[in-house]
Structures are given as structure tokens and as C-alpha cells.
Amino acid sequence: MGKGPGLYPDIGKKARDLLYRDYQSDHKFSLTTYTANGVAITSSGAKKGEAFLADVNTKLINKNITTDIKVDTNSKLYTTITVDEAAPGLKTILSFVAPDQRSGKVELQYFHDNAGISTSIGLTASPIVNFSGVAGNNTVALGTDVSFDTASGNLIKYNAGLSFSTTDLIASLILSDKLDTVTASYYHTVSPLTNTAVGAELTHGFSSNENTLTIGTQHSLDPLTTVKARVNNAGIASALLQHEWRPKSLFTISGEVDTKAIDKSAKVGLALALKP
């Protein structure tokens, strides 16, 4: 897949990943093993305050069909079946959570050189229908994301987004929360050789008249080690260091401090992902 303007969630994704991805204040651990027939089994655990959450995820790939099954500590069973290239440019996704009988959903994604379309419908008597579409190319893309509740007959979500991309710069503008919030983001690649980039995101709420500005940067110290930092207008500064000590096995340490209240304890998060 991966051609054309992509799907609606791809608008502004590079800036969001730079500013928010891998930052955390929890302690996380995951271990992935593979069976002889290629089934991937991932066991994960996370300590959030005094609570400890764990899950086991199994992934099986058979030709163009991927089956993901996850069980968590709340005894919930998450199942996702993905059929890639069911037809040229088409991806089909079926997901449900047991024992929640209202969680079933089927989604169709279509990728074209000048469009990316995703539509989903809940498998209930009165489902929620979601449609998102992006039109454009690798330079300019315009999209919308709409959800309709067939039970009430109301639109429960309507968003819009615009993206402009060049070889080293990506700018986007997104209207969300039923057009009550506008978010402008910027991502700029400074040096591809060292994976150095800067980014910023400005969010304004029309009803609340509140603004949030976050700026950040990333840089690779070497091919296996990356550092990131960010700060927002509330004075919250964060930084992380991520090291790939073997292929696909990552160690990440991140910290957060309130620069307006230095006397408060800093938050520190650790994450370890092991893959053979």
C-alpha cells in the first residue's frame, strides 16, 4: 500500500510522532518470541502508579491475511483480522472485543495515487458509521473525517485537514472537535544523515479561547541512539533517549519536569522492548 496522499490520520502524523511518540512516565516491558511456524507472541507489562497492567498478543501472518489476538488483565479478548490487497489497493479489517457484543467493526481502506479512503461500520443493529477521505498527492492533500450515529441520526464527529509536503518540510492544518479546535503543525528535516528534525504544534480552542504551543527536536547521536526533547507554553519540558542495542530491541528512558515548579519531583519513564 503506502501510495498517494495516505489516509486521514496521516495528516500531521510526522509532527505528532516527533512531539509525542515514545514519551512516557510509566515503566513498560515487552518481550517478543517466535514459534517454529512464524507466529509472533508478545508479552507486555506496564506499571501505572500502583497498578500493573499486562497483556499477551499473538500475531499470525498467512499470505495476505494477518490475525492479531490480544488478551489483557481485564480478561478481554481483542481480535483483529486484516486482509491486505483483497483487491488492488484495498485493505479489509475486521475487529471485535469479547465479551463486548457491541464492539464488532468492519473497515475498508482504499489507497490510490490521488486518494485515500477509509470507511467503517459497527456490527450492531444501530451502528456508528465513519467515513474519512483524503484527496491530493504527495505534495498537497485535503481530507475530512465524519462519523454518523444511525441510532440518533446525528453527526457525532466532523473534522477536516490540510497538508503540504516537500522533500524536507511538512505543514498541516486540522479542524477537530466538531470544528471547535484548530491545530497547526510543522515538521522540518534539518539533516537526514543524523535524523535531525524540528517540529512545532499550535492548538487553539475557539470556545475555550485557550492556546497550547509545543515545540520539539530530535537527533541521532549514532545509527542506534536517538535523543528527543520538547517543551510547551505551560513550562513542561521533556526529554528522552532511545537506544537500539540489538535489531528491533529498544531501550527508552524519558523524563519530564515542570520548569515553573522545579521543587516538584520529575517524572521518569522506562521502556524495554526485546525481540530475538
Please write the tens of the pLDDT for every residue from 72-122.
988 899 999 999 988 899 999 999 999 988 899 999 999 999 999 999 999
pLDDT at position 102 is: 86
Dihedral sign, CA of 47, 48, 54, 60? negative
Collapsing DSSP to helix, strand or coil, 187 comes out as strand
The pLDDT assigned to 38 comes to 83
Strand partners, 175: 160, 182
CB within 8 Å of 28: residues ≥ 6 apart:
44, 45, 46, 47, 269, 270, 271, 272
pLDDT score, position 1: 46
User: What whole-number distance in Å separates Cα of residue 122 and Cα of residue 147?
Assistant: 11
pLDDT value, residue 93: 97
User: Which residues of the chain fall short of a pLDDT of 70?
Assistant: 1-3
pLDDT, position 153: 93
Pairing of strands 27-34, 267-274: parallel
**What is residue 3's predicted lDDT score, i.e. its pLDDT?**
63
Q: Which residue ranges make up each domain of the chain?
A: 8-274
So what CATH class is 8-274?
mainly beta
